[in-house]
Chain A
Amino acid sequence: MKQKLVVIGAGMASGRVLEHLTDAEPDAYDITIFNAEARGNYNRIMLSPVLSGDKTYEDIVTHDDTWYADRNITCRFGEHVVGIDRDAKTVTGENGTVAYDKLLIATGSAPFIIPVEGKDLPGVITYRDLDDTNAMIKAADKGGKAVVIGGGLLGLEAAAGLAERGMEVTVLHLMGHLMERQLDEAAGYLLRRDLEKRGIKIITQASTAAILGEDRVEGVMLEDNTGLEADLVVMAVGIRPETRLATDAGLEVARGIEVNAQMQSKTDPDVYGVGECVEFDGHLFGLVAPLYDQAKIVAQGLLGETGAFVVKDVATKLKVTGCDLFSAGDFADAEGREDIVFRDPSRGIYKRLVIEDDRLIGAVMYGDTADGNWFFGLIKDGTEIDEMRETLIFGPAYQGGDTADPLSAVAALPPEAEICGCNGICKSTITDAIAEGATDLGRLRAKTKASASCGTCTGLVEQLLQVTLGDDFQMPAPQPVCGCTDLTHEDVRRLIKSQALKSQPAVWQELGWTTPNGCHVCRPAINFYLLADWPIEYKDDPQSRFVNERKHANIQKDGTFSVVPRMWGGITNADELRAIADAADKYDVPTVKVTGGQRIDLLGVKGEDLPHIWSDLNKAGLVSGHAYSKGLRTVKTCVGTDHCRFGTQDSTGLGIRLEKLLWGSWTPHKLKLGVSGCPRNCAEATCKDIGIVCVDSGFQIGIGGAAGMDVKEVQPLIQVPTEEETIAVVIAVTQLYREHAKYLDRIYKWMAKVGLEWIQEQIGDLDTRRALVDRFELSQSIYRKDPWAEQAKEPPKFAPLADLTLEAAE
């Protein structure tokens, strides 16, 4: 005698079970199927196209009456099941009882109704089945306003369908961005933009307080008292497994009916569950792929075979015409995860791949999802993507053969494809600039700013140069900072900023230093970059400084030091000179010399005397001249209008003011200033890093002079009318240099890399100038101090070590 199978629910999952079962053994079971809806199985996923009018019900029916008849399945559609008696092994419907040997519960899910006032008013509907869809279509025929509560997959499909049918639609979403479970913020933003383009209003962080209306719905009230008119309210905030029958039958139910890997109820092996109503291993199921997997297992079980259901990653696509999105896997930010991001804003394309341990673990795509399934395959298979990482984001078309060529991928990009996300630079802007003569990275950056911010697209920009110029382009051999890393200074600077690296260990770790704690080449550079970029957060590390900057004096070849007190603008007086002379006597200073920077150098001071000589000089008001530092050295001046018959401005006064503002600041290399009172240029300002030449109409400021290994004349930066503006410009350009230059590049070298025009643009923009001045001042709040006074007054941090010679003498 044939066994009896009773199925409760004719949805996509149970439909698939019956297909497998009857295909394999048409006569194994005598089958009865109940369905509350007055119809058989149809493709529920396609309800959205029905709502929008793209498809009809007939298009989406999967199993029609003939199908059931051919398989001798008894259909009891439109009949609610009222109870299950597991002892008697019967199922009772509204029209009578039927016995079973095996029972399959496939009751699916019920929409979640938020418990607010007015939820039961006519005109408030959910979006779950064909009846709901038809109700919406009917409501939309009358036009008017619709409010959709819930900005998830279903809610948005409903909203788009209603808008398509001519309703004025508002979507209320509780969270900060749409479809937050499937999309990250960037993709959520693009989706919102597209939906808004088609007239759908979106309100995020909207919490529904009540649904208003007398006899039928009239509006929705939000928690913040915003009122919205509504002729139709669609609730699409989520679903929950429909488990009432199972609970009543005494089956174990958590959130869903608990089943084992064979899809049998944990309580009763003769009862199977499938689809959205079951819970397996803590998981609930809402998408179709796992449901089909389950269906296969159930069919196998019914046929006496044993399979086992496994939970797999699932991918999501939104079925709204024109909104192309795809999401799969895990794309939350977490430690150890890396992103590859591609954006093409003009085409509204966003792709983000999340990589962990050389494997793709998540993908979010918007606008172009053609490669979605390929990425999904990589996620499911845990394929190592190391080899194809460079071209991965361009999809399978670029993975052909063993030699994936990133250049062809770059060449294939459309002109409007965004290359530099920070500055919003697209491919054509870059190729145009190359055509106009920006044929290396430095000039290209100066002209377009592409790759000039975070720098992550540097490789892409270089490939563009290569593609555009062909053999004319010599890929520059990147000069790494030192043997500890392959990164260049520029890379490191950008990464310190973009990844907010605020300590040396963070730099070593995050940027993959190959040595435990750097070397004598990189440590001073990194120390400078960190203190320049994070003046408050980062603490200067003396152990990463060259001896001169640690000792605040210049080491000489015999191991003694030279001491140079500051003379503001080169002005001194009898008291200061007397103090210097006394110090020279007291500490047996063998050589006293006048420097090129208009001050006095005491050469040959013993290391252990340093704190004492500093202390003595401090008493006369003298402070460190920083003659040893990669920082502000001197501001050389001429006597200006005070004494000189040619002087046009108070060059001495300006020099002193500048020196008092700038002293103590650290810069990539030494920084020397000069202020000349007239174009005769007695202060030699035009060969200083920053030189000011006073003229009748104001102040000519030039930068990039030097008189060292290279002799350079300053390039004119800007002319300004007032002393105040001169000071702001000098400070701003100093800060710009501090923030961007490579360690040990003087201004002229930095200028050759970024271009004078770029510096002029930054300084010329008053907001940028002001911001630079503010950042410099913030840094100076820490560093505008006399290190001599600090060191002389501080008790030694470290107790002296033993003196074994003394012990020996005792």
Chain B
Amino acid sequence: MNWIDVGSIEDVPLRGARLVKTPVGCIALFRTDETEVFAASNSCPHKGGPLSEGIIHGQKVTCPLHNWVFDLNTGAALGEDGQIETFPVRVEAGRILLDGHAVGKRSAA
């Protein structure tokens, strides 16, 4: 693991999402609770809807285009045949840490 600090949790609105540009494309960070963040692909496998613009509820996000619902723990679409990629993410002392290996970034060191 190679944890990279990508920003403060306070810069993601509660039950909102923000994007991080990475070598593997835009990754959405979903803040599901005060100190809980999930990282997943921003693109809905159905018609490519921007998931970061969806409504976030519980540990799930609903795609704004056609209401596909994804479990952010697993990336599985609920009741549909589909899957989004999820990425390891941690929150430490209010900072959001993404795993650099998983997002295609080599260690800065």
Contact = CB atoms under 8 A, between A and B. Distances in A.
Interface of A: 515-520, 523-524, 542-547, 550-551, 555, 557-559, 607, 797-808
Contacts of B5: 802
Given A520-B57, A559-B50, A802-B6, A807 B64 contact: no
Given A543-B14, A805-B21, A516 B58 contact: yes
B43 to A, nearest CB: 9
B49 interface: yes
Contacts of A520: 54-55, 57, 62, 67, 69
Contacts of A800: 7, 11
A515 to B, nearest CB: 6
B13 interface: yes
B73 interface: no
Nearest to A796: B11
A547 B12 contact: no
A808 B67 contact: no
Contacts of B54: 520, 547
Given A551-B53, A559-B48, A519 B62 contact: yes
A419 to B, nearest CB: 37
Contact of B22 (A524, A797, A798, A804): A804
Nearest to B103: A804
B21 A555 contact: no
Nearest to A806: B21
B1 interface: no
Contacts of A547: 50, 53-54, 64
A804 B13 contact: no
A163 B103 CA distance: 90
15 contacts: A517-B15, A519-B55, A519-B60, A543-B55, A546-B55, A555-B50, A797-B13, A798-B11, A798-B12, A799-B7, A801-B11, A802-B20, A804-B22, A805-B23, A807-B108
Given A520-B54, A520-B57, A808-B106, 11 more contacts: A543-B55, A547-B64, A557-B47, A799-B8, A801-B6, A804-B6, A804-B20, A804-B98, A805-B21, A807-B108, A808-B23
Nearest to B31: A543
Interface of B: 4-8, 10-16, 18-23, 29, 47-50, 53-58, 60, 62, 64-65, 67, 69, 96, 98, 100, 103, 105-106, 108
A524 B55 contact: yes
A515 B18 contact: no
A558 B49 CA distance: 8
A467 B4 CA distance: 68
Contacts of B6: 801-802, 804
Which of B13, B18, B47, B55 has the most chain A CB atoms inside 10 A of its CB? B55
Given A517-B57, A517-B58, A523-B57, A557 B13 contact: no
A607 B18 CA distance: 13
A801 B55 contact: no
Contacts of B19: 801
B86 to A, nearest CB: 17
B18 to A, nearest CB: 5
A577 to B, nearest CB: 31
A807 B100 CA distance: 11
A799 B7 CA distance: 8
A515 B58 contact: yes
A284 B103 CA distance: 74
Nearest to B16: A543
B4 A555 contact: no
Nearest to B29: A801
Nearest to A519: B57
A214 B48 CA distance: 97
Nearest to A802: B6
A798 B54 CA distance: 18
Contacts of B18: 798, 801
Contacts of B106: 808
Contacts of A519: 55, 57-58, 60, 62, 69
Nearest to A804: B22
A546 B64 CA distance: 7
A801 B22 CA distance: 11
Contacts of A550: 53
A803 B20 CA distance: 6
B24 to A, nearest CB: 9
B50 A804 contact: no
Contact of A801 (B7, B13, B47, B105): B7
Nearest to B19: A801
Contacts of B10: 798
Contact of B65 (A516, A542, A557): A557
Contacts of B98: 804
A543 B13 contact: yes
Contacts of B67: 520
A524 B55 CA distance: 9
Contacts of A544: 15, 55
A559 B54 CA distance: 12
A554 to B, nearest CB: 11
A803 B7 contact: no
Contacts of B62: 519-520
B98 to A, nearest CB: 8
Contacts of A807: 105, 108
A702 to B, nearest CB: 34
B23 to A, nearest CB: 5
Given A543-B14, A798-B18, A802-B7, A555 B65 contact: yes
Nearest to B33: A516
